[in-house]
Amino acid sequence: MARGLLVVLEGPEGAGKTTQLRLLAEWLGAHGQMVVALREPGGTVVGDEIRRILLDPASDIVPRSEALLFMASRAQLVEREIRPVLDQGAIVLIDRFFLATYAYQGIGRGLPEDELSAANVFATQRLQPDLTLLLMLPVEQGLERAIQRGERDRMERAELEFHERVAHAFDTFAKPEWQRAHPECGPVVIVDARGTEAEVFARLRATLGERWPDIFLLSE
């Protein structure tokens, strides 16, 4: 059986990753694809507990602890959930993966990239995404969406300058020269996250269809 696909949805806060992942999973399931939708941190019993700690506004976590907690959740998710279903030929959709570590803990928190990269190799056993869809939205607009959802989590409450650094990092990650220097992250493509859910979903499917037309360009 052929290996499945690992597709990551990334982007700054409020970009709509969770909504678009749900829409894509529902669409793939309705068209007969074996699909598994996951999120980071989380997706396992261990990961969900780590998520609670990481996102709790009361948590006092230093940057290195933050990075290691994300890595611990990722290691559990890769071994328990992602690799087994990829080996069965499933399409795995995941809300965030290693690119977020470079953006949030690397550029955002100022941790050394080489140390983060080495930790990720250990956590993932060199698993690479087949494609990362980078949903991009102006920082202020994304944070406003996050506020409208209700009480903000610890990451969303970070200062505006932190979120601006993260957004700038994501812009950099879409550039070909950065991707050539970071093959461990796999290909990264920007998707405009402005507009309605349906408009963004159409762009997302079109981007996926350029690589896998037999899967993502099926007629309705």
For the whole prediction, is pTM greater than 0.85?
yes
> Burial level of 55, CB count in 10 A (0-12/13-18/19+)?
middle
Each of the 220 residues of the chain gets a pLDDT tens digit; together they read: 578 999 999 998 888 999 999 999 999 999 999 999 999 999 999 999 999 999 999 999 999 999 999 999 999 999 999 999 999 999 999 999 999 999 999 999 999 999 999 999 999 999 999 999 999 988 778 777 767 776 778 888 888 899 899 999 999 999 999 999 999 999 999 999 999 999 999 999 999 999 999 999 875 5
Q: Residue 81 corresponds to which tokens in the numbers above?
A: 């959930």
CATH superfamily of 5-213: P-loop containing nucleotide triphosphate hydrolases (3.40.50.300)
Give the 3-state secondary structure of residue 37: strand
Domain map of the chain by residue range?
A: 5-213
